[in-house]
Amino acid sequence: MALIELKNLHKSYTQGKESISVLADVSFSVNAGEIIILLGKSGSGKSTFLNLISGIDSPDQGEIRFYNRSLAFHSEAERTLFRRKNIGFIFQFFNLIPTLTVRDNLLLPLELNNLLPAEKDQVDLLLEKLSLKNKENQYPDTLSGGEQQRIAIARAIIHNPELVLADEPTGNLDDSTSAQVIHILLQFIKSYNKTLIMATHNKDLCRIADRIIQIRNGHLEEISGEVK
């Protein structure tokens, strides 16, 4: 069953007096439970693609459907409510709230979705799985990059979203920490039966994908076989 459907999507940005096309007439669908790896050079449109799906941004033309419901939002508030409930977003630079403790960073999505106090125990369970229970009262800037990214992953899934989007989630991590973070992320995705779309430069991560998609010249190309 299609979770996300994109139909004839166009997106461009204005740079000075010039209009720069990022996505051109893109049609694509993602099935529930799939793991999609999104490849592309810097500036190719990977982040734009994820931002459109999440409702952070809106297309110039075309339609995005989520479980066959059009996401033709009329306001930023509507997009925010949709994203808050249905999307978990993992950012390259973590985007943890620096003035909140680790525990409070994880409680926030539950609070925003009116899931407290019923789901409060989920925070403790995730912290235990991440081996970060002893860091729950610390602030993000006291943690290593790998620890911050593990917390960012937990925050992205704690409210039980249908779709997890990851934008270069290992881009700031060394190889060892990157492998650990990806292992934890895949555990979560498979355990909770979520859908994952991950934008990355790391072609080694293609091994985890059900499908590999490349953005080139504003278009999506599905890659079959070994990625070189």
Alpha-helix residue ranges (DSSP H) falling in the chain: 46-54, 76-86, 102-112, 121-129, 145-157, 175-191
Is pLDDT at 137 greater than 80 in this prediction? yes
- Domains delineated in the chain: 34-55+75-223 (3.40.50.300)
Give the mean pLDDT of the chain.
90
Threshold 0.85, pTM exceeds: yes
Measured between alpha carbons, how far is residue 194 from residues 5, 23, 34, 114 in Å? Answer: 16, 26, 8, 21
pLDDT bin (cut points 50, 70, 90) of residue 218 is: very high
What would the two tokens of residue 39 be?
A: 């490849």
What's the pLDDT tens digit per position in 155-190? 998 998 999 999 999 888 888 888 888 888 898 888
Contact assessment for residue 66 and residue 1, using Cβ atoms and an 8 Å cutoff? no
Task: Check residues 107 and 78 and name the one with the higher pLDDT.
Answer: 107
Q: At what angle do helices 145-157 and 175-191 cross, to 10 degrees?
A: 10
What would the two tokens of residue 136 be?
A: 């729950």
Is pLDDT at 64 greater than 90 in this prediction? yes
